[in-house]
Amino acid sequence: MRRAGQTATRTASEVQDDRITLGVDTHADQHVAAVLDAQGRLLGTHAVPTTPAGYRALLAWTATFGPLARAGIEGTGSYGAGLARWLRKHNVLVVEVDRPNRRLRHHRGKSDTVDAEAAARAVQANTATGQPKSGDGQVEAIRVLRTARRSAVKARTQAMNQLHALVITAPEDLRTQLQPLSPLALVTVAARFRPPSSPTTPLAATKAALKGIAQRYQALLREIAQLDQQLAPLIAAAAPTLIAIKGVGPDIAGTLLVAAGDNPDRLRSEAAFAHLCGVAPIPASSGKTQRHRLNRGGDRDANRALYLLAIGRLGWDDRTRTYSEKRLHEGKTKAEIIRCLKRYIVREIYHALLAPAA
């Protein structure tokens, strides 16, 4: 019993119990939020537009229920990226939440409020613990430029395939002239064609089409070269220790940097980074059978970069070749050896990624 005039004091656990958890289901035009108290009771749901004013309204609405402990957000790499950055700037702990699987949605149904509540419950149950990429530094700039480069490379390949297809079906005289040429020579010759402004014959139309595609190919070459010039200094500045590893060029380094993000320290260990890259074996044991299966998840672009690095080391690194021969004698296949090599390499990459922060 408290005496008159005595100030009430609250324990740390009681203060902690007042904190609430926010879950957000993200969309292009609006986000739907749900708030849970410390006991997991749903306190309310709310929808806000995907604008800074909407984000401020979301925090103001959340504050009416109590102090905010954590926010679980779906799609922090797409629709939720802006909200995640805004909340972090306002000192809110953001947790990345995977979208519910189809089996769970089949039992619980699908709606924005249900998904928002599920995101909050995943955070409370600690089934969602991942910290999203910050997306506010050099690595984000690298990601954006690499997106443009990937698109240009894909369009360049498509243009070359179209050139070859047109040559195959071209009129006989034109096909005889162009078919022996190498790809770059074909582009050079086709770009110099002077078809009439209004082609009316198959020959004139084919020359006009070849000229347009060849000029597009040349423009894409210039675009890719310009993007490479912009990417090289960014990658070197973002991860000098990574670039210093033999065999790691701008393409591999940029891919692995984008996978890790601007805050690679968010990854708890090199094992977590291995899972992120899809090179950590997945336990598949049952009873007396102890085995692991191939990991088909993770960032497949990062997995490709590690594969290229492993193949390169098999060609020039003596230690890697010795290891490969040893495992071959043990009965391992080449594919299995490469999977093992990728797991070893990712450990080295992880420490190189953390070196600039250290």
Judgement on whether residues 194 and 283 belong to the same structural domain of the protein:
no
Answer yes or no: is 334 within a domain.
Answer: yes
Please say whether the dihedral angle defined by the alpha carbons of residues 288, 290, 294 and 296, taken in this order, is positive or negative. Answer: positive
- Residue 143: per-residue pLDDT: 94
Cβ-defined contacts of 170-177 (< 8 Å, 24+): 170/206, 170/210, 171/202, 171/203, 171/206, 173/203, 174/203, 174/206, 174/207
Which three-class secondary structure state does DSSP give residue 23?
strand
Enumerate residues 6+ apart whose C-beta is below 8 A from 227.
Answer: 145, 148, 149, 152
Evaluate whether residue 191 is within a structural domain.
yes
Give me the phi and psi of 92, to 5 degrees please: -105, 130
Which positions ≥6 away from 181 have C-beta within 8 Å? 189
User: ∠ CA(356), CA(231), CA(313), 5° rounding?
Assistant: 70
Phi, psi of 138 (to 5 degrees): -65, -35
Put simply, whether the predicted model's pTM sits higher than 0.85 gets the answer: no
Q: What is the pLDDT of residues 275-294, one digit of tens each?
A: 999 998 888 778 877 777 77
Domain total of the chain = 3
Residues 59 and 161 in one domain: no
- Which percentage of the chain shows pLDDT scores above 70? 92
The letter for the amino acid at 244 is A
Among 214, 238, 262, the domain-final residue is: 238
Q: What confidence score (pLDDT) does residue 154 get?
A: 97
Residue ranges of the chain with per-residue pLDDT less than 50: 1-15, 357-358
Residue at 130 is within a domain: no
Bridge partners of residue 283, in order along the sequence: 292
- pLDDT score recorded for residue 105: 61
pLDDT number for residue 102: 62
Contact between 22 and 120 under an 8 Å Cβ cutoff? The reply is: yes
Please check whether residue 131 lies inside any domain of the structure.
no
The HSE-up count of residue 228 (CA atoms within 13 Å, CB side) is: 12
Single-letter code of the amino acid located at 160: M
Q: Residue 101: its pLDDT value, please?
A: 58
Domain membership of residue 91 as a residue range: 12-124
Q: Is residue 6 part of a domain?
A: no
Of 238, 269, 298, the domain-final residue: 238
Judged on CB neighbours under 10 Å (0-12, 13-18, 19+), 101 is exposed
Residue 118 token pair: 């599920």
The answer to whether residues 257 and 325 belong to one domain is: yes
At residue 167, the pLDDT reads 95
Looking at the fold, whether 256 and 310 belong to one and the same domain comes out as yes
By three-state DSSP, how is residue 68 classified? strand
Q: How confident is the model over 174-217, as pLDDT tens digits?
A: 999 999 999 999 999 999 999 998 898 999 999 999 999 999 99
Q: Can you give the CATH number for the domain in which 55 is found?
A: 3.30.420.140
**Are both 265 and 215 inside the same structural domain?**
no
Q: 189 and 257 in one domain? A: no
Residue 40 lies in a domain: yes
Contact between 89 and 113 (Cβ < 8 Å) = no
